[in-house]
Structure 1
Amino acid sequence: MRNIGFVLLFLMASLSGFSQEITVLDADTGSPVANIAIFNKDKSKTSVSNLNGKANLDVFDGKERITFRHISYEELVTTRAKIGKKGNRVYLGLKPEELQEVVMSVSKWEQQKKDIPQKIESIDARTIAFTNPQTSADLLHNSGKVFVQKSQLGGGSPMIRGFATNRLLLSVDGVRMNNAIFRGGNIQNVISVDPFTIRNTEVIFGPGSVIYGSDAMGGVMNFFTRNPRFSFTDSLTVSGNATYRFASANNENTAHVDLNLGQQHWASFTSITYNNFDDLVMGESGPDSYLRNQFVVRENGMDVLRENNDPRKQLTSGYDQINLLQKFTYKPNATWNYDLGLHYSETSEFSRYDRLIRPNDEGDGLRSAEWFYGPQKWFMGNFQITKQGKNKFYDGVKLTTAYQFFEESRVNRNFQAVDRFTTTEKVDALTVSLDFENKKIGDLRLYYGAEYIFNKVHSEGRQTNITTDVVSAAASRYPDGATWQTFAGYINGEYKLMPNLTLLSGARYSQVWVDAQFDKTFYPFPFDEADLITGAFTGSVGFSWFPKADLQITLNGSTGFRAPNIDDIGKIFDSEPGAVVVPNPELEPEYAYNVELGIRKNVQDKIVFKGAAFYTYLVDALVRRDFTFNGESEIIYNGELSTVQAIQNAAKAYVYGVEVGLEAFLNENWAIASNLTITEGTEEDDTGEESAARHAAPTFGDVHLIWQNQKLKADFFLNYNGEIGYNDLALSERSKSYIYAVDENGNPYSPSWYTLNFRSQYQITNALKATLSLENMTNQRYRTYSSGIVAPGTNLIMGLGYNF
């Protein structure tokens, strides 16, 4: 009997070894997917995944081609053998139209996109992988819906609806990145977010101050990074991918690797990316004024002006960057979830390219011998606790605590000068927020919460004699030890007035405190401190209406605000040649009032048209204007007599425009997609004089012709930017004539341009994927509006990715 039992056990074990149970998972969330139809070529053999995503493949042969199909997911064809090599797990990606259904940005909880009256655009991980951007700034640019300015290769400053920099809010995993020294000039912080780690980006167009508070006047860019995946078996699962990318225009070499470890109740995700960018090469056909004809070298203790042997090569624009991400998640049961995210990004030094090409006053040389940023560093530790379940006051509650550290520095020295000036800034930022979701009050869903943010700024300046190496103290850029903090409460409600009509409305009150002590060692400030306490009330109300199942009309009104920060109140810096900005502690918040009308029409699931028209009015605008310092309109700054300016509540502005998009699905392989954005803006100062708004982007758009099947996706597309003539150029831009082309009257202007481009992705095997792109095929030489660096010429981009 004992031998018989042993034989039976052996037979059972042998049979179980031939049995193959698999788990079907969502590629983005790692969650099980039920009701996946699984069948062979002639559908004589079938299976279906259950509620836990489980399915049995015993009816299929080892090398037989098996199809996985679901109405919401992309179809997958593979074999039992290949699935077995992947740990009996099958990952399916949502179809593009399904990815648009749920958004997180408007309330910090999942909401149906069709119920949102504001324009929101989502950029998912698969789209990011296809466009293969070098940085997150390029990720936004590739969407065709966000304009991006670049002062240098290591940069990217988004513009949305006439707003930019500290009037737009950046958020990573629900935590604001904007800090107390985000400036009105162009900012580069978006490049700290690694595009390889992003699972979804949501861009809110128009004010988002109800949820995000100060700075969210023109829009919000929310980056959600990839979450660790749990195992749906009893054992540890290991997965990951490795990617390499090369780009010819700046000789880019990028390497990325990530690793996921998962068990049933905990999981870990680790990501490392290293970028090496060489000097960028511009195109052949375009204005000669864009060429880099001269550069400065240091020889025998002297600055020497040299001719550039290759004027299309933008010397000293290259840089390196490393990004690290470590996330842990622990889910002991269906109620509680604990998430820890650790982000780190650091660049090498990189040149402020637009400053390096400034001519001197005589026009026969260059003004600066050196002008570069020190390493840009960013760290964030983000710990979040989420509880789901029935409660008297909520159905979900989320506690978020985060600490961020920022470091940046600026180094400059004039041509033939011996003194090098350096300012270094560090910011410690603490965020604590508590958010609630209540969805059981009939047709009303409430979202409410509170938030506290604290920033402390550390700033120092120094002066180095490069001949003697003597280092001495110099004026810092900001008041050292200055603090900025805010406390706010908000409530947002979504109410179904009718099955086809949804109302979304909310309100927020924010209190902001600013404290800065001014050091009079270097400048005799007529004040000792800035001690501001300001409050702001913002609100929004909007409707989403479906008069027909295939027609959506939205109407939204909202307000936004921005409270003065340390950059506004306490900064000292050279804003432009011959001008210096000084502190001004007498500032008030600026407010934006916005109205937006949107329409979306679906024609028989073949053509989808989307359009939005908006108008925004800005009052008490914080702008840079001429000022006096101790009664003087000029002072000596860094050894140069400079006109005094300051940030002031000295203007109002209005911005209006339209945004349209079209998608046409010609058949199962061919599609057309197009976007067009037209923005107009005007500023008016306190004297009534009008000028063009600086951050109103030129008309821009794209047209894509797309072909795809299961293995190959190809996109032939055109990018287009309109002209901004001299009369429509902002006053502050006219003073930077060295970055613009010259019209027939000798005045600076921003010419129109276009590029023809090709992009493709091929799935070689289930594990191996290749991308090939050719950008700017006609080798145009162009500079996007307000940018310092010239865009790439013909650029060959190749990438290879392997999933394991």
Structure 2
Amino acid sequence: MRLTLSIGFFFVLLCAGAQQIKVIDGETKRPLVNALLYNANKSKTLITDIEGICDLSEFKALERFTVSHIGYETKITNKNQILRRGGRIELIPKTEQLEAVVMSISKWEQQKKDIPQKVTSISAGDISFTNPQTSADLLQNSGQVFVQKSQLGGGSPMIRGFATNRLVLSVDGVRMNNAIFRGGNIQNVISIDPFTIKNTEVVFGPGSVIYGSDAIGGVMNFYTLKPQLPRVDTILVSGNADFRYASANNENTIHGDVNVASKKWASLSSITYNRFDDLRIGSHGPQRYLRNQFVQRQNGTDVLLNNSKPKLQTPTAYDQINFLQKIAFRPDSDWQYDLGLYYSETSDYSRYDRLIRPDNEGTGLRSAEWYYGPQKWFMGNLQLYKKGSGKFYDGLKLTTAYQRFEESRNDRDFQDPILNRTREKVDAISANLDFENKRIGDLRLYYGGEYIFNRVHSDGSQLNIETNQEEEAASRYPDGSSWQTLAGYVNAEYKAMPNLTLLSGLRYSHVWINAEFDTTFYPFPFEEAKLDNGALTGSLGLSWFPNQSTQITLNGSTGFRAPNIDDIGKVFDSEPGSVVVPNPQLEPEYAYNVDFGIKKNFKNKAVLRAATFYTYLVDALVRRDFTFNGEREILYNGELSNVQAIQNAAKAYVYGFEFGGEVYLNKEMQLTSNLTITNGIEEDDNGEDSAARHAAPTFGDFHFIWTKTRLKTDLFLNFNGEIRYEDLALTERSKDYIYDLDENGNPYSPSWYTLNLRSQYQFSNALTASLSLENITDQRYRTYSSGISAPGINLILALGIVF
């Protein structure tokens, strides 16, 4: 039970305790703020406070009243009944929340039933129950987002055949995408602490009208916890503490947060520390996934050792720490100011897929070391909200932010004393001004503007580990380069009929790039790159209810991605024997998308969903063979390498089908399932086709969930389909060391499944325990395009305390 410290009123509250009741979520047992209690003629109304508490003194013992909260079934009861049950009222979430709201489409609250795009919401209750290790796992647990991993400290989401810099990551309304987000797999999502996430919304399909460049495949919005302001003039202190252990990588995680609030001010402080050891894989599966050998430095030389524990992926261990500090100030009912400070830092962590690459002879390993330096992310975010009836708006939101990203790469070949190092830092500032106007009859308008500026700092060096001498070397990106964008948008929601809503929008974005190239290490045939591009994007969709139980959605939209510093200025080894060089002659790529969905509610006993989508990408930015000063091969880090560059050299199309549903067997048991089928093709200028790299295999899940008072259990199956050699992207075929081999000796991605059990028990209002057993049959598998194998049988224990 949350303990509320009320300064000056402690004894009064103690005496009146018998009249107080608490409204909580029937599943998560968390208090419900702003639940409404009212009698039959609504002459008496009460609202619960931050602790879900209100005082029933004005109600008579047998007077009936209603308890309601958006998204929950209403309950009618009286004071005597509640007090006999210990003063608690449990509200059950609605099986089909047609009145649920989402914020990701317009940045303002909209009814989910009026949205033509597919939006998946992951609530705080879902996160608490699934208990993810990282935010990448949080997305994967939804069953609707595919996640690739190249190392334990990673997780690169794939949505509808797109990934990395064709998806947008957003935290509390601020985009994390920066000027060096790459086409290769990225792991920035792990900087977001899952313990501080209040809810997550995933938008499927282009979101460029609101989010601008990069939002081609989808948008992932993470909304973190907010300081809670009480409705009475008192001081409230509350908080949470959590501990989690996982056996597959000997994880130890500890988290704590505390909320201190008065009537106008509130503060939320949070800290989380994770420690992960090397990851152990399963016993039943491909032999090629075992870690049979690894490199160790002994007596000043690299030695190739046989691994006595081949199921242990050495080295994959790392640790991470996350801080969050938020302050809210609400001087009156119309104004609110929110300050958020976020910080995340990892230790060094190995890029495991590079450490298992064989050497040219195939008898040993190519790399002695390959690791990322600490991944650091800081954000300061100041938001201003204003309610009211302005002449041009009914709601105003100003969001300003400063972000600092730091990362580095460190690699050294076997028996080579030279450690190659590159370090990158990005400073990013942004400002968003968003307006809501909902007073033009059946038309609601949302409009605003955005400005973003990124400055990239990059340097390179070579360290001789034997002599400890360090020399300057080529940087990964042009140092001091900048990327900026200015945009304006308008989004309109029109209620054409009570059962028909139209949603449309337009956005114009302009992007500038300025980069100067250092010719000290490479004789670039150019000294600078200046790009100046504009893009107009739009969307038009409808949400139609032909009857109360059926929803049909249709949406058409366009998206774009402007080249960034990573596209035009990067120098790096993309794969063994190949090097990517800068190409300043790039233009934006454009996507044209249409999707259709249908949802049917069968008398609240079952809800079934189906959707299909098609996206056509033109002027696609892809990595292709290139010439550098007329040469097709150049020396890079002492190796003669094939020259490649990012080019507007392809067209692509991606299509697929998504299915999902819930079946409610009774109040205690339900079945849920998701299935995603995606296919993608890239076509180059010569008309030759190849599979799209980020088109995930068929994947899905099936859950049997049983809830009984304080216990909730979930027996579920996760599964992935096979990708044959013929269906692998060309860039994937060259990485045969991360795949199994078919009967012809060609790499392919095998199908796999896992059987899992998850459970959570509420001992009291203050104490919750979770026990999960993942991959019960101890399968040895590796998700598509991943360089690290997934955990084998994995026991997870967690404890949560509310105070």
- TM range, normalised to the smaller chain? over 0.9
2:538 counterpart letter in structure 1: G
Cα deviation code 1:490-543 (max 9, x no counterpart) = 000000111101000000000000000000000010000000000000000001
Task: State the alpha-carbon separation in 1 of the partners of residues 493 and 793 from structure 2.
Answer: 48
Matches within 5 A, 1:528-607: 528-607=527-606
Matches within 5 A, 1:255-654: 255-654=254-653
Task: State the alpha-carbon separation in 2 of the partners of residues 169 and 494 from structure 1.
Answer: 23
Unaligned runs of 5+ in 1: 1-11, 39-46
1:791 counterpart letter in structure 2: A
Task: State the alpha-carbon separation in 1 of the partners of residues 389 and 220 from structure 2.
Answer: 32
1:343–1:95 Cα change, 3 Å: farther
**Contact 2:146–2:157 (Cα < 8 Å) also in 1:** yes
**Contact 2:168–2:214 (Cα < 8 Å) also in 1:** yes
Task: State the alpha-carbon separation in 2 of the partners of residues 717 and 578 from structure 1.
Answer: 43
- Alignment of 1:209 onto 2:191: no
Cα deviation code 1:175-227 (max 9, x no counterpart) = 00000000000000000000000011000000000000000000000000011
**Contact 1:25–1:33 (Cα < 8 Å) also in 2:** no
Task: State the alpha-carbon separation in 2 of the partners of residues 162 and 517 from structure 1.
Answer: 34
Partner of residue 659, structure 1: 658
Matches within 5 A, 1:153-168: 153-168=152-167
Task: State the alpha-carbon separation in 2 of the partners of residues 452 and 562 from structure 1.
Answer: 16
**Contact 1:23–1:32 (Cα < 8 Å) also in 2:** no
2:332 counterpart letter in structure 1: N
**Contact 1:158–1:164 (Cα < 8 Å) also in 2:** yes
CA shift, 1:699, in A, is: 0.1
1:289–1:696 Cα change, 3 Å: same
**Contact 1:37–1:49 (Cα < 8 Å) also in 2:** yes
Task: State the alpha-carbon separation in 2 of the partners of residues 15 and 783 from structure 1.
Answer: 57
CA RMSD, Structure 1 to Structure 2 (Å): 2.6
2:707 counterpart letter in structure 1: Q
CA shift, 1:96, in A, is: 6.2
**Contact 1:137–1:157 (Cα < 8 Å) also in 2:** yes
CA shift, 1:406, in A, is: 0.2
1:35 counterpart letter in structure 2: L
CA shift, 1:76, in A, is: 11
Partner of residue 142, structure 1: 141
1:640 counterpart letter in structure 2: E
**Contact 1:319–1:349 (Cα < 8 Å) also in 2:** yes
1:17–1:603 Cα change, 3 Å: closer
CA shift, 1:233, in A, is: 2.7
Q: Secondary structure at the match of 2:151?
A: coil
CA shift, 1:231, in A, is: 1.8
Task: State the alpha-carbon separation in 2 of the partners of residues 198 and 533 from structure 1.
Answer: 37
**Contact 1:75–1:710 (Cα < 8 Å) also in 2:** no
Q: Secondary structure at the match of 1:141?
A: helix
Task: State the alpha-carbon separation in 2 of the partners of residues 258 and 159 from structure 1.
Answer: 31
Cα deviation code 1:597-636 (max 9, x no counterpart) = 0000000100100111000000000000001111111111
Partner of residue 6, structure 1: none
1:118–1:545 Cα change, 3 Å: same
Q: Secondary structure at the match of 2:263?
A: coil
Task: State the alpha-carbon separation in 2 of the partners of residues 379 and 112 from structure 1.
Answer: 33
**Contact 2:502–2:541 (Cα < 8 Å) also in 1:** yes
Matches within 5 A, 1:750-765: 750-765=749-764
Task: State the alpha-carbon separation in 1 of the partners of residues 32 and 499 from structure 2.
Answer: 32
Q: Secondary structure at the match of 1:211?
A: helix
1:121 counterpart letter in structure 2: T
Partner of residue 190, structure 1: 189
**Contact 1:36–1:70 (Cα < 8 Å) also in 2:** no
Unaligned runs of 5+ in 2: 1-10
Aligned partner of 1:50 among 39, 43, 46: 46
Q: Secondary structure at the match of 1:73?
A: coil
1:695–1:75 Cα change, 3 Å: same
Task: State the alpha-carbon separation in 2 of the partners of residues 684 and 396 from structure 1.
Answer: 46
1:231–1:553 Cα change, 3 Å: same
Q: Secondary structure at the match of 2:139?
A: helix
1:417–1:614 Cα change, 3 Å: same
The alignment's TM-score, normalised by the length of structure 1, stands at 0.93
Task: State the alpha-carbon separation in 2 of the partners of residues 623 and 122 from structure 1.
Answer: 32
Partner of residue 7, structure 1: none
Aligned residues: 778
**Contact 2:95–2:604 (Cα < 8 Å) also in 1:** no
Partner of residue 3, structure 2: none
1:23–1:797 Cα change, 3 Å: closer
CA shift, 1:391, in A, is: 1.1
Task: State the alpha-carbon separation in 1 of the partners of residues 187 and 146 from structure 2.
Answer: 14
Q: Secondary structure at the match of 1:50?
A: strand
2:703 counterpart letter in structure 1: H
Partner of residue 706, structure 1: 705
Task: State the alpha-carbon separation in 1 of the partners of residues 519 and 742 from structure 2.
Answer: 46
CA shift, 1:263, in A, is: 1.1
CA shift, 1:59, in A, is: 8.8
1:372–1:117 Cα change, 3 Å: same
2:797 counterpart letter in structure 1: M
CA shift, 1:58, in A, is: 9.2
Task: State the alpha-carbon separation in 1 of the partners of residues 102 and 31 from structure 2.
Answer: 14
CA shift, 1:392, in A, is: 1.1
1:328–1:30 Cα change, 3 Å: farther
Q: Aligned residues: percent identity? A: 68
1:106–1:623 Cα change, 3 Å: same
CA shift, 1:580, in A, is: 0.4
Task: State the alpha-carbon separation in 2 of the partners of residues 188 and 132 from structure 1.
Answer: 19
**Contact 2:38–2:66 (Cα < 8 Å) also in 1:** no
1:228–1:746 Cα change, 3 Å: same
Partner of residue 6, structure 2: none
CA shift, 1:784, in A, is: 0.2
Aligned partner of 1:34 among 36, 43, 65: 36
Q: Secondary structure at the match of 1:129?
A: helix
**Contact 1:24–1:49 (Cα < 8 Å) also in 2:** no
1:193–1:91 Cα change, 3 Å: farther
Task: State the alpha-carbon separation in 2 of the partners of residues 475 and 216 from structure 1.
Answer: 32
CA shift, 1:15, in A, is: 11
1:536–1:308 Cα change, 3 Å: same
Task: State the alpha-carbon separation in 2 of the partners of residues 688 and 682 from structure 1.
Answer: 11
**Contact 1:428–1:455 (Cα < 8 Å) also in 2:** yes
CA shift, 1:18, in A, is: 6.5
1:33 counterpart letter in structure 2: A
Task: State the alpha-carbon separation in 2 of the partners of residues 453 and 108 from structure 1.
Answer: 17
- Alignment of 1:771 onto 2:731: no
2:36 counterpart letter in structure 1: A
Task: State the alpha-carbon separation in 2 of the partners of residues 772 and 694 from structure 1.
Answer: 36
**Contact 2:96–2:604 (Cα < 8 Å) also in 1:** no
Task: State the alpha-carbon separation in 2 of the partners of residues 429 and 682 from structure 1.
Answer: 34
The alignment's TM-score, normalised by the length of structure 2, stands at 0.93
CA shift, 1:234, in A, is: 2.3
1:107–1:14 Cα change, 3 Å: closer
Task: State the alpha-carbon separation in 1 of the partners of residues 119 and 588 from structure 2.
Answer: 26
2:664 counterpart letter in structure 1: F
**Contact 1:33–1:49 (Cα < 8 Å) also in 2:** no
Between stretches 224-233 and 416-425, larger displacement belongs to 224-233
Task: State the alpha-carbon separation in 1 of the partners of residues 645 and 226 from structure 2.
Answer: 44
1:430–1:93 Cα change, 3 Å: farther
Partner of residue 5, structure 2: none
CA shift, 1:23, in A, is: 6.8
